[in-house]
Amino acid sequence: MKALVVGIVGESVFMKCDHFHQEGETIRVDNIYKEIGGKGFNQALTIHSLGGDVTFVCSLGSDSIKNNTVDEMNKLGINYKCFIDPKHGSPYATILTNKCGDNRVSVYSGSKLKQDDLNEIYQEIDKAEYILLQLEIPYEINLSIAKYAKAKNKIVVLNPAPVMDIAELLDYVDIITPNEIEVVTLFGENYQDILLNKPFKTIVTRGSKSTLLIDNLIKEFETEKVDVVDTTGAGDAFNGALVYKLLQNELLEDAIKFGQSCASKTVTAPS
């Protein structure tokens, strides 16, 4: 089976610091480096690295970041379809990580997938069984993709980050994977009770705490205790690994455990 990931890719700048800013404070960073990134790209790369069949759909601007990004994706051997948006620069992100391994991420989404791109994206959906989405691309594009995928009986997995109102989109989602902040923002503090009555499955990742699967009941999956170095990319590793296992016809419970394992390995290594 095949997965289709639709998201962003661009240049990411990583900086290490002792602590995060207080209001009005200027801090020094210990080191800095750049690589390509973006939630969609990271998730597609995870599936690809694990040996899964995946196509990544993205948009880039007409700039040097586009050239570097395309070169890197070619080197990695990822199957991708890239649309060019000459009106915007390519996506760009800064990731600041403190000595505890926590991070603060700022994203410029930049180039946009457009309505004119949808017919070609639909052709890619026709070839896949699982569609993995995030919220870094325009909402109306996500909505159109999810509607089409649902009509074609595809499985739509939504990683709702960066979090926003997704009420209409939820009608076309089969699995949603919020973290603890996102699930409270979307459904409130009593989200567990609310989500028991929803037609989609919810997987709540909670860092070092247990992961929850909320369907018609609630199941807990204990998280392996590890020494955290850097949490950057942990959620993307989880989502990519989850979909990879689902492509192998694994049970959702087993896919969650595998996703936890991959995320735990990610946080023990510096980004």
Q: Which of the residue ranges 58-62, 86-90, 170-174 has the most confident prediction, judged by mean pLDDT?
A: 170-174
Contact 262, 135 (CB under 8 A): no
The chain-wide mean pLDDT, for the chain, equals 92
Query: Exposure of 104 by Cβ count < 10 A (0-12 exposed, 13-18 middle, 19+ buried)?
Result: middle
The residue with greater pLDDT, 157 or 93, is 157
Tens digits of per-residue pLDDT, 186-220?
Answer: 999 999 999 998 999 999 998 778 899 999 899 99
| pLDDT score at 107 | 82
* Tokens standing for residue 175: 């699995």
Can you tell me the distance from the alpha carbon of 212 to that of 223, in angstroms, rounded to the nearest whole number?
Answer: 10
pLDDT at 230 over 80: no
Q: Is the pLDDT score of 134 beyond 60?
A: yes
Looking at residue 30, its pLDDT comes to 81
- Mean pLDDT, rounded, for 11-37: 89
DSSP state of 170: G
- Region 9-36: mean pLDDT is 89
Which residues are 60's β-sheet partners? 84
Residue range 138-148, pLDDT digits in tens: 999 999 999 99
């942990």: which residue's tokens?
Answer: 234
Residue 258 in this model has a pLDDT that exceeds 90: yes
Q: Which of 15-29, 139-153, 159-173, 248-262 has the lowest mean pLDDT?
A: 15-29
pTM, two decimal places: 0.89
**pLDDT of the residue at 73:** 95
State the pLDDT confidence band at 100, using cuts at 50, 70 and 90. Answer: confident
3-state class (DSSP) for residue 71? helix
**Of the candidates 91, 90, 6, 94, the residue with the CA atom closest to the CA atom of residue 44:** 6
Strand partners, 147: none
* Residue-level pLDDT at 228: 62
Q: Output the DSSP codes for 82-144.
A: EEE-TTSPPPEEEEEE-TTS-EEEEEE--S---GGGHHHHHHHHHT-SEEEE-SSS-HHHHHH
With pLDDT > 70 as the criterion, what percentage of the chain qualifies? 95
Residue 33: the pLDDT is 86
